[in-house]
Every structure is written in C-alpha cells, then in structure tokens.
Amino acid sequence: MKLMQRRHHVDVLSLTTWQMTIGSLPLVLIAVLTYRGGPEWTGAFVWGLAYNVILANAVAWILWLYALRTLSAGAAGLGTLAIPVVGVVAAWLQLGERPTTVEAVGMALIVAALAILAARGVAAGRRLPSPADEEPAVRPIID
C-alpha cells in the first residue's frame, strides 16, 4: 500500500470499496453453491450484518489505510501489535471474561515488546516523517 501511495494518488474510500466488493465475490459464489435457502432476515441478523459490513470491515479498512498513509509502515505496524491486548482487555471489561495465566503472560510480553520498541525509538531520537518531508514520487521535468 505504501508503494502504491508513493506512485499514485489513491482514494482510500474507493480502494476500500473495491477491495470489499472483489473480496466478497468468492464468498457469495461459495454461498450460492453450497447453501440451499436464504437467510432469516430478523432484526438481529440485519444489525449484525450491518455491524460486520460497515464497522468491522469498511471503517476498519479505511482507518488502516489512513494510518498507512499518514504514519510510517513501522509505526502503523506497531499499532497492530496492540490489537490482541485491546481485545482481551475489552472482553474482560465488557463481558467479564477473565484472561487465563497464559493470556496474561502473552499480553505482558506484547506490552513489554511495544515499550522496548518505543523506548528504542525515543532513544534514537527518531521522529515520524510527515508526508511533506518525503520526496515526491514523480518529479516534474523542467526544460
């Protein structure tokens, strides 16, 4: 994605729409070939479907592509490492699911790794480059 954004102007919403549309075609084909009958269109089904399509997929992809556009790939990748920790903590707070000892150790290791990487970045005095700092991918030809 970073390479594509360097070479071309990419509209995040259009790219997300095409990815979701093309990615859903094999799923629709498999459903048509293997399932007889249709879904039971209840209110819960419609709300669950809307949540999965809009929030869990489309908005998540738009946010991910926006993060890739505005942050370095390394910084955006570090953010994804925290997702399992957020998921386990959210399940604990919202659903009362207590993490097992193995899950707690795994979360502690992830948090420690993120802290080490953040400390290394601060110690090295690095800053995240802004898009204005990067050289343009296409340079104009001046006669």
The predicted pLDDT at position 108 comes to: 93
The predicted pLDDT at position 36 comes to: 80
Q: At what angle do helices 60-70 and 12-34 cross, to 10 degrees?
A: 140
d(CA 139, CA 135): 9
Of the segments 3-12, 100-109, 120-129, which one has the largest average pLDDT value?
Answer: 100-109
Q: How much is the pTM? A: 0.52
d(CA 92, CA 9): 41
Residue that has been written with the tokens 């998540």 in this structure:
60
Mean pLDDT of 117-123: 77
